[in-house]
Structure 1
Amino acid sequence: MRYTVPFGGFIRQVVSLLRRCVLTTREGGGVQVVARVAAILKSLEGNERGMSLGEIAQRSELPRSTVKRLVDALAQEDLLEIHGHGGIRLGSALMRLARHSQLDITTHAKSFLEALSVTTEETVVLCSLSGNELLILHSVLSPQPLRVSPMAGNFLSLHATSSGKVLLAHLQDEQVKHLLGTPLTAYTDKTANMPALLEQLAEIRRCGFAYDAGEHTRGVAAIAMGLETSQGHYAISVLGPEWRITSRHAEIKTALGQTRDEMLKTFRSLE
């Protein structure tokens, strides 16, 4: 099976749209315009409520007049949507292209996730960041009678799950605070507050693994690792009854690491 990456098509389509934006603005220098557009798009990442021109200008460190011209051009190509004052957010064209990218990574990750589930005899899930929530892209259920059964398409908390913490660890602490807000919802008496969460994220950045032992659901535990691809950041986690997961930490971590490395090696060689 050949591994094709529609994200390459995603990039080409975005670049094509950006070139049209260059032509419809009075900004000088195509490369400079693309850099400015990228700064605007990045400033809106993860902000579903939308931002004002002033907020975008402040976050992107661009003049407000420049932001106004580029936002208008991006909106014409559906790369941004404008819903009144303070309602500028990422547009439908980007969302459609991003969804195609995620479908591809899910399709080609299935065999690896299934093998990991066979090895660990536990449920395995692939997740991504969706706004301020954790989106389950694919799940392989444990063959054991007592198992955890998350379903693809469901949303979970970021701060109380191992996969969510892995994805949060890619952000700076201030970005985490801005994304999640405070106070954090306590799902159980083990759910971390913000200071404890930031300590956990620092450890995840150091060791590469994230844990959840009854923080989201009583009696359920999970171990996760990040999967950094050309299509973006994802998380793979193994989850099950807390007593089974915590008693096999070392074994599960080894299996997770091997699976992640095999996936990345295969993806890179076939791009």
Structure 2
Amino acid sequence: MAGGNRDAGRTVTHKLLSVLTAFEKERRPLALTEIAALADVPISTVHRLVGELTEWGFISRTPSGRYQLGLRMWEMAQNVGRQLRETVRPLVQDLYSLTGETSQLAVRDGNEALYIDRVYGTKRVPKASRVGGRLPLHATAVGKVLLAYEEPWVLNAYLNLTLQSPTPRTISQPARLAAEIAQVRERGYAIALEEIRVGACSIAVPVFHTGRIGAGLGLVVPSEHYASLERHLPTLKAVSERIERATAHIPLETLLESHHVAFRD
């Protein structure tokens, strides 16, 4: 039964957050029984919490009787990182305009790359990320530059995790990944070829903030254009420097509170 012995000692706040994050695991309307199973919370508790969240507008009920995140949740989320997003959005748009390729900016959130902006190109590329989405650091170009320029303990901790392999090309062996990250730091950029999705490759450069790594700026292109990826490096580096200057007035801690999130295995 959902909850079981694990329910003992869990606070109401913990149960409430477990209910909300159930919708992060399954991005579709859910039945109460599904929410209970995903949140590991008793159905009776889920019924009460979902009812209260619905009254507040954080969850909405569909005509079929299932539940999904409500518009109030979306409205509040728009305030998170607003200063950063409003500052970098025109620059990410410039990167797309100059290259014609899907452009994206990501920060590190624990052991994942969190995408805070993305402009889709017109070329057909298998979609792997979205604004607000997360992907494993080791399987993405932006994630690799984030690992390469973080403090050494971050990479060491990451190498001790169980690393998944979304595709056969993913570098998930700790020794190989450590060598790859060292190479990224040496050359100043990262490349990923079909490591997160077959049919797509990416290139990324670091974006610094007051001497520390702030974000990863990258492009995603079809795999058949892999050989010409590096021609975009001058543009990537130029836009990265513009983002660095534009965000210098924003405290790093405000931009990257997620850097302090513990690693999740």
TM > 0.5 fold call: yes
3-state SS of the aligned residue for 2:117? strand
Partner AA of 2:224 in structure 1: W
Cα drift, residue 267 of structure 1? 4.0
Query: What is the alpha-carbon distance in structure 2 between the residues aligned to residue 240 and residue 102 of structure 1?
Result: 27
Partner AA of 2:236 in structure 1: L
Q: Which residue of 2 aligns with 1:35?
A: none
Structure 1's 208 and 100: CA in aligned 2 closer, same or farther, altered over 3 A? farther
Query: What is the alpha-carbon distance in structure 2 between the residues aligned to residue 101 and residue 228 of structure 1?
Result: 21
Is structure 2 residue 73 aligned with structure 1 residue 104? Answer: no
3-state SS of the aligned residue for 2:206? strand
Cα drift, residue 112 of structure 1? 0.8
Aligned-residue Cα RMSD (Å) equals 2.5
Structure 1's unaligned 5+ residue stretches are 1-98
3-state SS of the aligned residue for 2:139? coil
Aligned residues: 171
Paired residue for 1:238, among 207, 219, 226? 219
Structure 1's 118 and 197: CA in aligned 2 closer, same or farther, altered over 3 A? same
Partner AA of 2:220 in structure 1: L
Q: Which residue of 2 aligns with 1:147?
A: 125
Cα drift, residue 100 of structure 1? 6.7
Percent same amino acid at aligned positions? 22
Query: What is the alpha-carbon distance in structure 1 between the residues aligned to residue 126 and residue 209 of structure 2?
Result: 27
Equivalences for 1:24-35 in 2 at 5 Å? none
3-state SS of the aligned residue for 1:169? helix
Contact 1:142–1:148 under 8 Å retained in 2? no
Query: What is the alpha-carbon distance in structure 2 between the residues aligned to residue 103 and residue 179 of structure 1?
Result: 29
Q: Which residue of 2 aligns with 1:167?
A: 146
Structure 2's unaligned 5+ residue stretches are 1-77, 252-265
Cα drift, residue 186 of structure 1? 1.4
3-state SS of the aligned residue for 2:97? helix
Q: Which residue of 1 aligns with 2:24?
A: none
Cα drift, residue 119 of structure 1? 1.4
Is structure 2 residue 229 aligned with structure 1 residue 255? Answer: no
Structure 1's 186 and 253: CA in aligned 2 closer, same or farther, altered over 3 A? same
Is structure 2 residue 112 aligned with structure 1 residue 129? Answer: no
Structure 1's 199 and 142: CA in aligned 2 closer, same or farther, altered over 3 A? same
- TM-score, length-scaled by structure 2: 0.58
- TM-score, length-scaled by structure 1: 0.57
3-state SS of the aligned residue for 1:127? strand
Is structure 2 residue 99 aligned with structure 1 residue 120? Answer: yes
Partner AA of 1:250 in structure 2: E
Cα drift, residue 269 of structure 1? 8.3
Query: What is the alpha-carbon distance in structure 1 between the residues aligned to residue 228 and residue 142 of structure 2?
Result: 18
Partner AA of 2:137 in structure 1: L
Is structure 2 residue 199 aligned with structure 1 residue 219? Answer: yes
Structure 1's 270 and 138: CA in aligned 2 closer, same or farther, altered over 3 A? closer
